[in-house]
Amino acid sequence: MSGVQEEENDNEIMTSSPVTHIISTHQVGKTFKLYKKRVDRLKETFLPWVNNLHRPFQALTDVSFEVVRGETIGIIGRNGSGKSTLLQIICGIMQPSKGTIAVDGRISALLELGAGFNPEYSGRDNVYFNGSILGLSKEEITAKLPEIEAFADIGPFIDQPVKTYSSGMYVRLAFSVAINVEPDILIVDEALSVGDALFQSKCFAKFREFQEQGVTILFVTHSMDLVTRYCQKALMLNDGKAVAYGNAKEVVDIYNRTIVRCENSNGPTDSVSSEDAKEQIENLTGSTQQNDSEGVAFLRNEDENRYGNGQAEIIDVGIQSLNSVSQHTIVHGQRYRFWIKVRFQQDCQQPVYAYTIKDVKGFDISGTNTHYQEIDTGEVKAGQVVEVHFDQDMMLNSGSYLMSFGCAGFVDGTYTVFDRRYDLVTFEVVSDKQSVGMFDLGSHITVNLLDE
């Protein structure tokens, strides 16, 4: 296994020894056939002269990648990019329409919450059932049951029908079974996000343990932070194509870059064409310093809540990195600029510009405005455009945040909102440092041994 370590950071592992590659896919493609009627599918299957009743839908195209035993791979991509289809193919649930896939080891998959659970039966019965689907004997499951119960930590609920479980209990039990069947490959599809923070941290501790034991982990997530923190490698899918595979941090950067590109070129649409993505990667491999103007990654929220009298209009916003650790990912501790462009429809004295950051639960975390900070914003004439910069160190801990911007002012002595755009953008902070809570006070810690 000594050679494996050296190869790990190499994106282009071309050797195909079955010992090192626990999963290898070669140009895997999946075309779904869409039919108007189910009967048409039957006709096409059994009548050799009928073959034109379907409309093809290309879910995956030429996906080739190899996974070395013991690696943890994050699979990222937007909704509909083919992540789940790929996992289903790796698990053997679906057959690829093209290409080959080789998997060498026992797979334990957590593809959906409570798949393979019968809601009428008790947790314990379902553990046996799940175990027997995975090919374990009754005795083997009985032997593992205490461990499964301990990890799931659902107490006496183990003997209650699972239909009475909360979704958190569901995922705890399901995950507990999945990890306790001694898999060679563990596949987790977003399910973990249901658990609470404590359980999640327990799961990730288990991931670490698995990594040490040489268990391969594939997991799908939308949290770039989890990918950079736990995965050695990441695979990015876009429109069913594997657009990037390699070092996790680099792939996350590409991912964020494509999102920015999408924001800048296509406006607030929800699709990145894979041509765009390809171009991004070519740019990246050419020179990392290009396209500085693109700024860092954030998503524009389509369901923003906007109000105001329209006297001024926030026409554009953005986030920009002020030092060059990563151009496209918001990294904890680095310096960033939030900027807004405001076009005024009427003359205005001393307008107020503001931003607020909330967490995903809607709790206000931080915010400020030019009025609080007593900044002279001067006089603006109708038709003029003002650009405002808010520069600060990103002291938020890793996680997803929502950002609102506003522009207001005093009209005839009354505070009037010109344009307020709530939850206009979401962004994600990644961190390579463990910490508690949402905010980092930047504590400087000294430890002194006192011996008197």
27, 58, 64, 118: which one contacts another protein (CB under 8 A)? 118
- Amino acid letter, residue 437: G
3-class secondary-structure state, position 57: strand
39, 143, 360, 385: which one contacts another protein (CB under 8 A)? 39
Q: E strands, 248-311, where?
A: 299-300, 305-307
Residue 107 sits in the site that holds another protein (CB under 8 A):
yes
CB atoms within 10 A of CB 209: 11
Alpha-carbon distances, residue 87 vs 83, 103, 119, 253, 257 (angstroms): 6, 12, 25, 23, 25
10, 120, 196, 432: which one contacts another protein (CB under 8 A)? 120
CB atoms within 10 A of CB 129: 16
CA–CA separation, 244 and 50 (whole Å): 39
Residue 339 sits in the site that holds another protein (CB under 8 A):
no
Number of residues that bind another protein (CB under 8 A): 31
Q: E strands, 155-248, where?
A: 185-189, 216-220, 233-238, 241-247
22, 109, 348, 394: which one contacts another protein (CB under 8 A)? 109
2, 14, 46, 448: which one contacts another protein (CB under 8 A)? 46
Of residues 177 and 231, the one with the C-beta less far from another protein: 177
32, 204, 339, 422: which one contacts another protein (CB under 8 A)? 32
11, 50, 112, 292: which one contacts another protein (CB under 8 A)? 112
Binding track over 383-402 against another protein, x by CB under 8 A: --------------------
Contact 402, 358 (CB under 8 A): yes
Binding span for another protein by CB under 8 A among 75-83, 116-124, 204-212, 332-340: 116-124
Residue 38 sits in the site that holds another protein (CB under 8 A):
yes
Of residues 130 and 232, the one with the C-beta less far from another protein: 130
From the list 185, 193, 2, the residue with the least C-alpha distance to 103 is 185
16, 132, 142, 349: which one contacts another protein (CB under 8 A)? 132
Contact 410, 416 (CB under 8 A): yes
C-alpha neighbours within 13 Å on the C-beta side of residue 327: 17
Which spans of this chain sit near another protein (rule: CB under 8 A)? 32-33, 38-39, 41-42, 45-46, 88, 91-95, 107, 109, 111-112, 115-116, 118, 120-121, 125, 128-129, 132-133, 135, 137-138
